[in-house]
Amino acid sequence: MLYPDDVCADYLARGLWTTETFAEFFDVCSDRYSTHTALVGHDLAGTPVRLSYTQLADAATAAAILLREKGVQQGDYVLVQLPNVVEFVVVIGALWKLGARPVMCLPAHRKAELSHFAQQSKARMFITCHTWAGCDHAALAAEIASQVEGVEVLVLKSVGDLQPADQPTNTTLTPANVSAFDVAFLQVSGGTTGIPKLIPRSHADYLYSVRESAKICQLDTQTKFLVVLPVSHNFTMSSPGILGVFYSGGTVVLNADPSPSTSFELIASERITMAALVPPLVNAWLMVAKMRTPDLSSLRMLQVGGAKLTEQLARRVQPELGCRLQQVFGMAEGLVCYTRPEDSEELVVSTQGRPISADDEIRIVDDHDQPVPLGQRGHLLTRGPYTIRGYFAGAAPHSFTEDGFYRTGDIVRQLDSGHLIVEGRDKDQINRGGEKISAEEIEDHLIAHPDVFDAAVVGVPDETLGEKCCAWIVVTHHDDTASAKELGHRLRQHLRARGVAEFKIPDFFQVVTAFPVTGVGKTSRKQLRALLKDHSST
Ligand code: OOB
């Protein structure tokens, strides 16, 4: 059980949670919205696809039958690594129907992350594609399967591959009988420790956040949601994301190419009403919109989250793109905050929103876990109807207080209205334009190189991405002839060879003879960040 029994009973009794599960999710949507268009996009072969709610539910059922034939059973964990293509939605729907649990990998993950996810979850299968954006995913999956026992690989070429050979079109399949309180799927954490953590989300908690998010964002059957960020990310899945749109009977439009011009074409041709971006993409949209004056007249709401949006950029959204801005501050572990459509302009541009629910408990504390007065900055702890009480397999227990609050690692301030302003971070994580990098994870990989005696990875302010990543290195043998540039080149190669996702490879390397230390003798990242201002980067 992911939440204590009394907590489950309370949320259920108060009607926050229901016994609905994702096993019947697409069938329920199909019953409600039948011929309405659910999903628009391309399949892996590049063929345009448009599916009604009934067609989507049928495709998921057919895929479920195929996956069952291939040995997937209720309770199995299945790694899914697919870009923004229709197969992703069909596969997720199929796995849920069987009562299996998708592990939501990002397309950017490589051997290091994927083998860890496969091992941790004891995955039964790895569903992926052939080559995508220059990466041979099939080869990657084969390598994982050769290293981790029991993993079958399914490589998809097109949506037709999810259709069993001789299945009559009207085949039905009863959704698996699963508990709403049990694990529906695993999200992956950006991470602050040496290894990325898996996040177990239950049917009841996730569906609660989906329903409430859909209400807050005023979704209905007329909503047309453009997916630009990776579809498997928590933001795109549920805030309110594709699941919120399906729940409300709207249309999801998948864009597999994140360039602003492709998005602008789709906004005009599909009459998109809502999209979700990270701050660097807002910047790119503003730049391209200025040059091309695209038709964005249908766009009503632009959601921005994943990293701090500067007030300066926030103020430009409405006048230059002609739509409302919504700031979204969330985390795969649970808590999601939104600015509301009815909020004043000031709140929308200067805060990161307020929690979904009155049942989200917010505790802002000092370094000794003591509450700070309202309005003062402190560490954000949270507990509530959709925030996890622990990581998969009990990893990183120190991320939770004894009474079940999650330590978000974010430094925030709360206004009287309940809105939060994210002021910084107390976690050793770099937020590179919404992509999260665990300092410790990269340091561990770097220290494994024979030339590296010690490593410290820190964020460096960057105008476009918010932050970039810098690795400070103490070398094993000081060799005056080798420049930091050469070492940086070697270490980048080393990280790639170890299968680290490209976005985690440091942008800069700095070589020093020793690290500055804090009073207790720990490496002082604060001083390293300050030192960067005096160094020229390589
Ligand atoms: C979202 O989820 P994750 O798990 O990739 O990252 C969570 C972390 C937060 O703890 C915070 O440090 C940062 O990302 N963050 C923001 C932010 N939104 C997320 N920092 C400042 N301002 C924001 N608006 O990133 C995520 C999950 C669901 C919805 C939206 C974002």
Question: 336 in a domain, yes or no?
Answer: yes
Same domain, 331 and 446: no
- In 3D space, the residue among 127, 141, 152 whose CA is nearest the CA of residue 232 turns out to be 127
User: Could you tell me whether strands 152-156 and 125-129 are parallel, antiparallel, or unpaired per DSSP bridges?
Assistant: parallel
Q: Which atom of ligand 1 is nearest to the CA of 189?
A: 4
305, 339 in Cβ contact below 8 A? Answer: no
Q: If you measure from the C-alpha of residue 444 to the centroid of ligand 1, how many angstroms do you get, rounded to a whole number?
A: 24
Question: 428 in a domain, yes or no?
Answer: no
User: Whole-model pTM?
Assistant: 0.96
Q: If you measure from the C-alpha of residue 241 to the centroid of ligand 1, how many angstroms do you get, rounded to a whole number?
A: 14
223, 274 in Cβ contact below 8 A? Answer: yes
* Number of independent structural domains in the chain: 2
Question: 344 in a domain, yes or no?
Answer: yes
Alpha carbon of 237 to those of 123, 230, 277, 357: distances in Å?
A: 21, 9, 13, 18
256: containing domain? 18-166+174-359
Whole-number pLDDT of residue 536: 45
DSSP string, 416-470: TTS-EEEEEE-SSEEEETTEEEEHHHHHHHHHTSTTEEEEEEEEEEETTTEEEEE
Best mutation site among 329, 335, 432 for ligand 1 pocket (most ligand atoms within 8 Å of CB): 329
Measured by CA distance, the residue closest to atom 21 of ligand 1 is 308
Q: If you measure from the C-alpha of residue 348 to the centroid of ligand 1, how many angstroms do you get, rounded to a whole number?
A: 17
Q: How far apart are CA 36 and CA 53, in angstroms?
A: 6
- In 3D space, the residue among 29, 8, 346 whose CA is nearest the CA of residue 214 turns out to be 29
- In 3D space, the residue among 184, 270, 230, 206 whose CA is nearest the CA of residue 81 turns out to be 230
Q: If you measure from the C-alpha of residue 297 to the centroid of ligand 1, how many angstroms do you get, rounded to a whole number?
A: 28
- CATH code of 93's domain: 3.40.50.12780
- What are the mean pLDDT values of the chain's consecutive 10-residue runs (538 residues total)? 95 98 98 98 98 98 97 98 98 98 97 96 98 96 96 98 81 94 95 85 98 98 98 98 98 96 98 98 97 96 98 98 98 98 98 98 98 98 98 95 97 98 95 96 95 94 95 84 84 97 96 86 80 58
- In 3D space, the residue among 141, 136, 87 whose CA is nearest the CA of residue 114 turns out to be 141
- CATH code of 501's domain: 3.30.300.30
Which residue among 303, 333, 359 closes a domain?
359
528, 513 in Cβ contact below 8 A? Answer: no
- In 3D space, the residue among 273, 282, 276, 289 whose CA is nearest the CA of residue 241 turns out to be 276
Same domain, 116 and 230: yes
Q: If you measure from the C-alpha of residue 234 to the centroid of ligand 1, how many angstroms do you get, rounded to a whole number?
A: 9
Same domain, 334 and 440: no
Same domain, 230 and 125: yes
Question: 26 in a domain, yes or no?
Answer: yes
Q: If you measure from the C-alpha of residue 307 to the centroid of ligand 1, how many angstroms do you get, rounded to a whole number?
A: 6
- In 3D space, the residue among 516, 523, 460, 469 whose CA is nearest the CA of residue 491 turns out to be 469
Same domain, 314 and 455: no
Q: If you measure from the C-alpha of residue 79 to the centroid of ligand 1, how many angstroms do you get, rounded to a whole number?
A: 23
Question: Greatest CA separation found in the chain?
Answer: 73
Same domain, 443 and 329: no
Q: If you measure from the C-alpha of residue 180 to the centroid of ligand 1, how many angstroms do you get, rounded to a whole number?
A: 26
Whole-number pLDDT of residue 16: 98
Measured by CA distance, the residue closest to atom 16 of ligand 1 is 307
- In 3D space, the residue among 309, 312, 295 whose CA is nearest the CA of residue 352 turns out to be 309
Whole-number pLDDT of residue 537: 45
Best mutation site among 205, 331, 386 for ligand 1 pocket (most ligand atoms within 8 Å of CB): 331
Question: 1 in a domain, yes or no?
Answer: no
Amino acid of residue 282: V
- In 3D space, the residue among 473, 460, 509 whose CA is nearest the CA of residue 488 turns out to be 509
Same domain, 231 and 128: yes
Question: 404 in a domain, yes or no?
Answer: no
Which residue among 339, 359, 379 closes a domain?
359
Q: Which atom of ligand 1 is nearest to the CA of 408?
A: 10
Same domain, 206 and 122: yes
Whole-number pLDDT of residue 196: 86
188, 196 in Cβ contact below 8 A? Answer: yes
Same domain, 28 and 116: yes
Within 6 A (CB) of ligand 1 lie 190, 234-235, 239, 305-308, 327-332, 336, 352, 408, 410, 422, 425, 431, 436
Which residue among 359, 391, 406 closes a domain?
359
Question: 9 in a domain, yes or no?
Answer: no
Amino acid of residue 388: I
- The pair phi, psi for residue 524, each rounded to 5°, is -95, 100
Question: 480 in a domain, yes or no?
Answer: yes
